[in-house]
A and B are shown apart, each in its own frame.
Chain A
């Protein structure tokens, strides 16, 4: 079946540093990937849509300069949390649709990356 991986699984960093999270589709290509954020005991909040070959589309209220997204290839999207602060601590999850048709895709989710900013 389709697999989406994330790296790293967890990261602890000091306040002010930048952290890069990778999302890879392992056995299929994805021109679109999605980045979500999940706070403890809460639902997933869509942060942005990563588009291969073009700029990411950010949801309202998400800072573009804070959360940099680069869709480097058809199997890789990266999320960089710049100048991280403790309030950025969260569980970040990516997903990729298996087929590229609209509304008929099955979203496959990565295992998530837990970011803790000290």
Chain B
């Protein structure tokens, strides 16, 4: 995850909005993803955005993409305690004719009641 960077920790109050940020390095990435991981579990795809889009909204989730700055963010509206988890951003890459996902280090979101 060294090429994709995220802040390590975010704490918000229940009902507030959460914004998780991510910077990536490969400008040729076609898709960028947000995954959620709960303790001891695998990854759940939350949403993704195509690189020619600036924004994508899906219910409480809003993804913003600034391709110029290679900056991706995930906004969770009306954050609930069940949203507490680790959130990973990932960029897709083609290397040696292989499709790969490169993950960030993950942001641990803690939602306080």
Q: Do A and B come from one complex?
A: yes
Whether A78 sits at the interface, judged by CB under 8 Å, is no
- A71: shortest Cβ distance to chain B, in Å? 14
> Are B94 and A107 in touch, CB under 8 angstroms?
no
The prevalent SS among residues of A at the interface is strand
> Are A103 and B43 in touch, CB under 8 angstroms?
no
> Are A43 and B99 in touch, CB under 8 angstroms?
no
> Which of B45, B96, B100 contacts A46, CB < 8 Å?
B100
Q: How many residues from B make CB contacts under 8 Å with A?
A: 25
Q: Chain A interface: which size bin?
A: 20 to 34
Cα distance A95–B88 in the bound complex, in angstroms: 15
Binding site for A on B (CB under 8 A): 1, 30-31, 33, 35, 40-45, 48, 88, 92, 94, 96, 98-106
Extra 14 A-B pairs, beta carbons < 8 Å, given A43-B104, A44-B88: A34-B100, A34-B101, A43-B88, A43-B106, A44-B1, A44-B103, A46-B102, A49-B98, A57-B96, A93-B42, A103-B30, A106-B48, A108-B45, A109-B44
